[in-house]
Amino acid sequence: MVQWTDFERQTIQSIFGKMDYDDVGPAALSRCLIVYPWTQRYFGNFGNLSNAAAIQGNPKVAAHGKTVLQGLVLAVKNMDNIKATFTELSVLHSEKLRVDPDNFRLLADCLTIVVAARMGAAFTADVQGAFQKFLAIVVCSLCRQYH
């Protein structure tokens, strides 16, 4: 089972407690689709993704960014059991959506950068460590049901 220090627990709860999900979700997903354009392969039916402006203005990207962030919030609410919490989501991503798990890491990196930009100096090295540990565990849980 994952061991969380008090600092890590409080940090994750605090970050997500103060986060504007409607801003961060879409920003992270659109950044991922722009910076790592091959990730667009999973969004063939999202309409116009032809350039950065189109991606940032795309309502389906925005909606999906919010969906992804809601998934993360689920993990925040179940920090001591992320593995079990994400079993169904893992099956969905592997068997139905067929997403290469490397993409989870790319999105996690983009989310880290977006959160860092929003939080500024408050995103200290220790906070970054806690945030990235949380995302690594989420990514690992999403990968678990891949066979």
Partner 1 sequence: MSLTAKDKSVVKAFWGKVSGKADVVGAEALGRMLTAYPQTKTYFSHWADLSPGSDPVKKHGSTIMGAIGNAVGVIDELVGGLSALSDLHAFKLRVDPGNFKILSHNILVTLAIHFPRDFTPEVHIAVDKFLAALSAALADKYR
Q: Which residues bind partner 1 (CB under 8 A)?
A: 30-31, 34-35, 52, 56, 109, 112-114, 116-121, 123, 125-126, 128-129, 132
**Whole-number minimum distance, CB 78 to partner 1, in Å?**
23
**Whole-number minimum distance, CB 108 to partner 1, in Å?**
10
Torsion of Cα atoms, 91 then 16 then 23 then 142, to 10°: -10
d(Cα 97, Cα 91) in Å, to the nearest integer? 9
- Complex with partner 1: residue 29 or 82, whichever CB lies closer: 29
**Whole-number minimum distance, CB 38 to partner 1, in Å?**
10
- Complex with partner 1: residue 86 or 131, whichever CB lies closer: 131
- Complex with partner 1: residue 9 or 118, whichever CB lies closer: 118
**Whole-number minimum distance, CB 52 to partner 1, in Å?**
5
Does an H or E element contain 131, and which? helix 125-143
